[in-house]
Amino acid sequence: MADPLKYVRKNILALKPYSTARDEFKGGDISVWVDANESPYNNGVNRYPDPHQKLLKEKISLAKGGISVDSIFVGGAGSDEAIDITFRVFCEPGVDNAIVITPSYGVYGVAAAINDVALREVQLNDDFTLPVDKFLAAADEHTKLMWICSPNNPTGNAYAVEQLEALADSFDGILVVDEAYVDFSDKGSLLPRLPKHPNLVVLQTFSKAWGMAGLRAGMAFACKEIIDLYSRVKYPYNMNGPTQAELMKRMDCDISEKVSEIKAEAEWLARNLAKARCVRNVYPTDANFLLVKFDDANAMYDYLIDNGVIVRNRSTMPGCAGCLRITVGTPDENRRIMKLINEYNS
């Protein structure tokens, strides 16, 4: 198997990470903490948090089928911190490039631009399937990363894990698969396949199925060597203590019932949208949203806003002309949306 370290920037391999006071503390019966220049007055947040989120990672490990804590990175801003760090670890600014499918999640492009990494976009097929040959053909000796969102945003479709595994085997670089919506998909996750693919990074988030978008927490999973590099590059205390505690508390909740309801509501919405006179196409989804093509997407977007409903207009994205992205809401919200759409120009 390929050594993932061969794709890493030389300065990152040589980087000596910042050592916090909590890193240097090896354990003991301590009653006086005067090592980190903190306030001594206990107000619940006067102490620095665990910089490595050990307890949270143990909980994530259990939730993800026992994946090693050494293979887990936890970051802030949802998955966006992990996205940025991936560019910083693997791509030499102004030299290396990355490949991304289009249409897809826009932060990949923003993070590439911030890190001065050229982004090569490969258009999905008309049915939003992967053009694997074109994907591989777009790579050269300076291509360090490939990004695939599965289920993809905004198209909603997921790709077979076998197809993604084959791509990881064929690509001489790091394949990043963003599984933000994987809990809604029946296609499965690549997490169990990580040991077979040292050049694979899998992103997940607490923002979607877990219902914790406001806490801004995401995860990256990879071999220990890659996660060690992420831990070197991240800022020392990249997740505050109250967020860590709240995540652990909320992870005790069973989300399966709500996920099942969202999937059932997605099917209901898809069936009913397909019957609407102003709808041209409802694309299949493996996520908690639907990409819907309208006769006049801009007019529909404005009409829904005028009636108190906000959706996402994706009409300007490649391959999405005339399309709105509609997130699955509560049953009452979904029926209100359908009522409005059926009343449009009635």
| DSSP per-residue letters across 167-206 | HHHH-SSEEEEE-TTGGG-SS--SGGGGGG-TTEEEEEES
Listed in order, the ranges of the chain carrying CATH 3.90.1150.10 are 256-343
According to CATH, the topology of domain 4-250 is Aspartate Aminotransferase; domain 2 (3.40.640)
Cα–Cα dist 25/231, whole Å: 17
Residue 146 has pLDDT above 90, yes or no: yes
CA-to-CA dists, residue 10 to 15, 109, 229, 231, angstroms: 9, 23, 12, 16
Mapping DSSP to helix (H, G, I), strand (E, B) and coil, where does residue 33 land?
coil
Q: Residue 158 and residue 112: Cα distance in Å, rounded?
A: 23
- Where do the CATH 3.40.640.10 domains begin and end in the chain? 4-250
Neighbours of 297 (CB within 10 A): 22
CA atoms of 264 and 331, how far apart (whole Å): 10
Q: Which fold has domain 256-343?
A: Aspartate Aminotransferase, domain 1 (3.90.1150)
**Mean pLDDT, rounded, of the chain:** 96
Reported as a single tens digit per residue, the pLDDT across 260-276 is: 999 999 999 999 999 99
> Do 105 and 149 meet the contact criterion of CB atoms below 8 Å apart?
yes
Interhelix angle 331-343/297-306, rounded to 10 degrees, is 120
Convert the pLDDT of each residue in 68-104 to its tens digit. Answer: 999 999 998 889 999 999 999 999 999 999 999 999 9
| pTM for the predicted model, two decimal places | 0.95
Per-residue pLDDT reduced to its tens digit, 25-57 = 777 888 898 989 999 999 999 999 999 999 999
pLDDT band, very low/low/confident/very high, at 314 (cuts 50, 70, 90): very high
- Residue with the two structure tokens 């360090």: 144
